[in-house]
Structure 1
Amino acid sequence: MKEVALLLAAASLALGSPANAKPAPPQLAQIVSSMQASASGWNSGDLDKFMAVYSPSTETTFVSGNGLIRGKQAIADHYLKDFGFADSAKRGTLTFETLNYRPLGNRMALYIARYTLTYLDGKSASGVTSVLFRRDKGAWHIVADHSS
């Protein structure tokens, strides 16, 4: 819970100057919590936990340098193939830094973050992810993910 509070404080600073700072919307807290749970799954090598944030819809998409992938299972297969979840040295440790958040109505939101993968050999890889969330049955799920 302490990590969520710290992320929300950082997000508030990133979303506006202290003079104009408004409390972070509750949707952002829920989305940040979902992203943290996903990263926790990644870091523990639990692909199902990592993928739980993605919508089960066949229309869910993931875009990277390798192109467009459709559907939650195809996205999971991509991560399994490219990062070998059983091998923590190949998978690395995942963190997210909130860069921007924008509500898009009552059921949609855009979340932009910097992801960083840190490997056991001290090397790291980082990029930006733009994630479109949709709220269904009280939970926020990724319906489109563009990571570069």
Structure 2
Amino acid sequence: MRFILFLFILSIFSGVLSINTYAQHPEEQQIRALMQQQTAAWNEGDLNGFMQTYWQSDSLMFIGKSGVTYSWQATLDNYKKSYPDTAAMGKLNFNLLEFKPLTPVLYFVVGKWHLQRTAGDLQGHFSLLIRKINGEWKIVADHSS
């Protein structure tokens, strides 16, 4: 009888775990895919591909150690200046920590970034505002440090 009770409790616990695993919002899954797309492009040395996840607008805001940069093109130019080749780029890895829906079309995402490089690893944290524009999720503000 105890064995049956144990199996019953175990099955309930397993069900709760699987519900939580699959309870991830579809929006969060799409944003995770966006971040995977970004990582893949970076790790292939493709800064233009990496930047496809950003809003192509003069209103894009990137905040880094040098201050605020506005516009998609200026952000791309800064990346090209800071990471002129694949050795400088290294291999990127994200650890996504928080997903906060602000509205149905706006998410706040917090995470850690890590670059593994032969010249020395770099790492830090980031916060992103990601907005659904014309049916696609795009980074509209990036604060990386």
Answer whether TM exceeds 0.5 for this pair: yes
1:39-74 per-position Cα deviation (integer Å, ceiling 9, x unaligned): 111111111110000001211100011100000000
1:73-111 per-position Cα deviation (integer Å, ceiling 9, x unaligned): 000000000111xx2211111111111000011110011
What's the offset of the Cα at 1:21? 4.1
Specify every segment of 5 or more residues in structure 2 that has no aligned partner in the other structure, as ranges.
Answer: 1-16
Partner of 2:141: 144
Could you state the TM-score of these two structures normalised by the residue count of structure 1? 0.81
- Hey, which bits of structure 1, 4+ residues long, moved more than 6 A? none
Specify every segment of 5 or more residues in structure 1 that has no aligned partner in the other structure, as ranges.
Answer: 1-17
Could you state the TM-score of these two structures normalised by the residue count of structure 2? 0.83
Query: In 2, Cα distance between the equivalents of 1:33 and 1:113?
Result: 15
Partner of 2:112: 114
One-letter code of the match for 2:141? A
Q: How does 1:75-90 map to 2 (within 5 A)?
A: 75-84=75-84, 87-90=85-88
Query: In 2, Cα distance between the equivalents of 1:57 and 1:106?
Result: 21
Specify the SS of the correspondent of 2:118.
Answer: coil
Matched, 1:103 2:83: no
Query: In 1, Cα distance between the equivalents of 2:24 and 2:70?
Result: 32
Query: In 1, Cα distance between the equivalents of 2:73 and 2:143?
Result: 17
Specify the SS of the correspondent of 1:141.
Answer: strand
Q: How does 1:34-113 map to 2 (within 5 A)?
A: 34-84=34-84, 87-113=85-111
One-letter code of the match for 1:81? K
One-letter code of the match for 1:110? F
Query: In 1, Cα distance between the equivalents of 2:110 and 2:20?
Result: 18
Greater C-alpha Rg: 2
One-letter code of the match for 2:88? K
Partner of 2:121: 124
Query: Superposition RMSD on alpha carbons, in Å?
Result: 1.5
Query: In 2, Cα distance between the equivalents of 1:125 and 1:99?
Result: 18
Partner of 1:27: 27
